[in-house]
Structure 1
Amino acid sequence: MSAHIVKVLDSFYVTHDVKCFVVEKPAGYDFIPGQATEVSINLPEWKNQMRPFTFTCLRSKEYLEFIIKIYPDHKGVTNMLSRINAGAELIINDTFGTLQYKGPGVFIAGGSGITPFIAIFRDLYKNKHLKGNKLIYSNKTSGDVILGDELRKMLKENFINLFTREKVIGYLGRRIDRNYLIENIIDFNQNFYVCGTSEFVKSITIYLIDLGVNPDSLIIEE
């Protein structure tokens, strides 16, 4: 495993509990959109506590970017990251991940599970290859949506929001369940990308396979 110490160039909140980190990019470092790396904080008591986070920037950028959900109640790595700002140092390792773009399809994300899709969408949008893709994005409330304006600009009418704990005029207040998929997806003979909590991915995967999706067309992090 190759470890790189990188300086934080900028950090800011994109929602009330999700923070963006822009860090230095080591020479020759590269990734495939959708991939992640193990990240730790370069402090004696934290440098061995590595956590997986997804790259969200374009691979052509001269920096790396991570969008990370902060869990202050856990008193762990993300809580410490809430205190990390420009000038601090992180440690990043080799890239990994199987959640990569394999062609047009339906992306289904729950909460911070959107992060692997951000780099994919940004890459497709830049290269004008986003046509034919759709995003169904579930959050507890409208305030939890990550990069909503940018996603709407890229995907337009193919950006679908659902809120499970808030009623917002013009949006569905429901979970993504089997009935929702039946009512809102016409073609199950296409690619499906799913990311979220382990419970979210498990339930959506079961629904999709039950509805006839070919397991080879189901792209999840393994």
Structure 2
Amino acid sequence: MAHTLKIKDIQNVTHDVKQFTLEKPEGYTFQPGQATEVAIDKDGWRDEKRPFTFTSLNEDPDLEFVIKIYPDHDGVTEQFGKLEVGDSLIVDDAWGTIQYKGEGVFLAGGAGVTPFIAIFRDLHKKGKVGDNKLIFSNKTEEDIILKEEFENILGDNFVNAITDEEPSGDHLFLDGFIDKEFLESQIDDFDQPFYVCGPMPFNEAVMGYLKELGADPDALVFEE
């Protein structure tokens, strides 16, 4: 069922990522990590649906999405960058993607971190963050989505890999791509759940390395 919902608030999260807060329909429910199809309620765009993950929690009064804007793609996400408070989005019902299956290691590439936001917010709210770890790959430091919030929730278990610039010297920034050696240096137990989400080349590479290192493929969860 499609719901046409007004945008209540838009905030800049990074230089090219925005947070959209929408009205929430009565009775609308979802689980942390779930996504939905979203379209812009404007002529020419209503049939252009794209999957986005909820970053709010089910008990929150509003719906929230964190969306990366690609101004040079001349497509839907470029249009998201032009939206204003009072515009509307068409939101379908929730469907399952990544679901939390216990304490483990989360590996995200860029905007692929979005399914993990609600999962970590939910665990934090329940006091159940435990020893979960997030390894987050970005091109530059300014690309890191919700850096301060992840630092607050995870502390030293929030690890950033920066690929396209020299790290600033902060111990959180590790220079280079996530490869097999990097994973070996950061993870001491490959017999635990692994959650992987990012662009397809990132997913395929990381899944391959994890399997080579002895991770059980059944423990690998990624967003298709």
- Provide TM-score, normalisation by structure 2: 0.97
Partners of 1:35 and 1:99 within 8 A in 2: yes
Q: Could you tell me which residue of structure 2 aligns to residue 192 of structure 1?
A: 194
Deviation at 1:148, TM superposition (A): 0.2
Quick one: which amino acid aligns to residue 126 of structure 1? Answer: K
Q: What is the percentage of aligned positions where both structures have the same residue?
A: 52
1: CA distance, partners of 2:186 / 2:44: 48
Unaligned runs of 5+ in 1: none
1:1-222 map, 5 Å: 2-167=1-166, 168-170=168-170, 171-222=173-224
Residue pair 1:41, 1:47 contacting (<8 A) in 2 also: yes
SS at match of 1:21: strand
Do 2:18 and 2:68's aligned partners in 1 also have CA atoms closer than 8 Å? yes
Give the root-mean-square deviation of aligned CA atoms.
0.8
* Cα distance in 1 for residues equivalent to 2:18 and 2:218: 34
CA drift at 1:98:
2.7
> What is the Cα deviation at residue 97 of structure 1?
2.5
Query: Quick one: distance in 1 between partners of 2:21 and 2:72?
Result: 24
Alignment: residue pair count: 221
Counterpart residue identity of residue 103, structure 1? G
Equivalents in 1 of 2:83, 2:129: separation in Å? 34
Which letter maps to 2:104? G
Question: Matched residues in 1 for 2:154 and 2:184: separation?
Answer: 22
**Alpha-carbon offset, residue 165 of structure 1:** 0.8
What does the per-residue CA deviation read over 1:20-56, in whole Å, with 9 as the maximum and x for residues that have no partner?
Answer: 1000111111111001100001112111100000100
How far apart, in 1, do the equivalents of 2:190 and 2:36 lie? 32
Question: 1:172 aligns to what SS in structure 2?
Answer: strand
Task: Give the secondary-structure state (helix, strand or coil) at the position aligned to 1:123.
Answer: helix
**2:4 aligns to what SS in structure 1?**
strand
Q: 1:97 touches 1:221 (CA, 8 Å); kept in 2?
A: no
Q: 3-state SS of the aligned residue for 1:91?
A: strand
Name whichever of 164-173 and 40-49 sits farther off.
Answer: 164-173
**Superposed structure 1 runs of 4+ greater than 3 Å apart:** none
After TM superposition, the structure 1 stretch with the greater mean CA deviation from structure 2, 13-22 or 91-100, is 91-100
Q: CA deviation at 1:94?
A: 1.6
Q: Unaligned stretches of 5+ in structure 2?
A: none
Question: When the two structures are superposed, what TM-score results if normalisation uses the length of structure 1?
Answer: 0.98
Report the AA paired with residue 216 of structure 2. Answer: N
